[in-house]
Structure 1
Amino acid sequence: MRNINSVKQEFLKKWIWCLRKYSSQKKNMSLLERKKAIKLSADLAMASTRNKTTRWSKALIANASKNSSNKVLTAHVPGSSPPQRVRKSSTNYSHSTRIRSCRRNRAVYRPRDRVVASFIAKKLVQKRTRRLKSLLPGGEFMDDASLVEETLDYVQSLRAQVEVMRCLVTASELMILNPS
């Protein structure tokens, strides 16, 4: 990943641009519309900062472009098509079937408690994987291996976004307290 400071600077520039573009289209916005504009422009700025290199950024842009009122912003952001499902090849499937059949044979020799613990652990991992896929934009279309990579990248981008927003809040508080 690039230098975090350059990512923050690029995010801030794109976020301000998106906010200006959105506010120029809608002059009198309610509080709810302003909140939506801030979130949408932050999401699009964060996604466009990644330069279409991740599936989550493509999914964010695709989700935003579904709404016709967002066309003003998404038209200037590198677009993307909806994420495609990843299909497993038949060789991987047969390989995993062989492993499962071997495990079944070995399960006879394991103590009952160990089999139950293994089953519970597997179900827990599946449940958490489904939850992670639902949290990550475009995650429902990802295989487990790319899900981890994409999640790490998404968390890093969110962290940069939060840091930029904190700096803006701090700067605005200082301007209010010291209006000189």
Structure 2
Amino acid sequence: MNSKNLSFNPCPDRAKFTRIFLRALAKINEDRPTSSSHQEIRNRSRRIKIAADASMVSAVGSRRAWSRIMLWKLRSRTRYRALNRSRVISSWRRRSADMGNKEKLELSRADKLRQLVPGGETMDFCNLLDEASHYIKCLTTQVQVMRSIADSFST
């Protein structure tokens, strides 16, 4: 391996992500309510997170498995929330039945990673590592862009 392969390059579509995200932020800013209650701030934060995720997925496209899963989740958020709640409840019931007397269910590192990467539950280990590395690169880019936007408004 050469050193070029080991470098941590940001997501290649950084400019596209920035453009899409700034447009989404402008739209969110247009819809800003006059009050700043706790609920309004929480809703605004949620909309910004959704805009950041949608911008990242739009910049990457459907080339990666994690982006296809996130796109599906973004398109069907309401249905996904209801489905996820029922999965969590049934999973909790299954685990509590399996655990018996306060025994903890140990997850392997790969299973923990599968929970973090969108769509990782169905991937084999090699694909999981590839998707996880790309997902981390794109999340890093997302943070860098958001940090630079915050820095430009704070000065």
TM-score by length of 2: 0.66
How far does the alpha carbon of each residue in 1:56-79 deviate from its partner, in whole angstroms, 9 at most, with x for none?
Answer: 1111111111135xxxxxxxxxxx
Alignment of 1:1-180 (within 5 A): 4=10, 7-21=13-27, 26=31, 28=33, 30-67=40-77, 127-174=108-155
Mapped to 2, the partners of 1:65 and 1:50 lie a distance apart of: 16
**Residues 11, 137 of structure 2: 8 Å contact kept:** no
Mapped to 1, the partners of 2:135 and 2:67 lie a distance apart of: 8
Alpha carbons of 1:4 and 1:134: their partners in 2 closer, same or farther (altered >3 Å)?
Answer: closer
Aligned-partner SS, 1:52: coil
Give 1:7 deviation, angstroms: 2.2
Structure 2: state its 5+ residue gaps.
1-8, 79-105
TM-score by length of 1: 0.57
Give 1:19 deviation, angstroms: 3.1
How far does the alpha carbon of each residue in 1:103-134 deviate from its partner, in whole angstroms, 9 at most, with x for none?
Answer: xxxxxxxxxxxxxxxxxxxxx9x710000000
Alpha carbons of 1:172 and 1:22: their partners in 2 closer, same or farther (altered >3 Å)?
Answer: closer
Tell me how large the CA RMSD over aligned residues is. Answer: 2.5
Higher RCO (Cα < 8 Å, 6 or more apart): 2
> What is aligned with 1:105?
none
Give 1:142 deviation, angstroms: 1.2
**Residues 10, 138 of structure 2: 8 Å contact kept:** no
**Residues 10, 140 of structure 2: 8 Å contact kept:** no
Aligned-partner SS, 1:38: helix
Give 1:6 deviation, angstroms: 5.9
Mapped to 1, the partners of 2:46 and 2:153 lie a distance apart of: 20
Percentage identity across aligned positions? Answer: 27
Task: Say how many residue pairs are matched.
Answer: 116
Mapped to 1, the partners of 2:151 and 2:32 lie a distance apart of: 27
Mapped to 1, the partners of 2:14 and 2:142 lie a distance apart of: 7
Alpha carbons of 1:136 and 1:67: their partners in 2 closer, same or farther (altered >3 Å)?
Answer: same
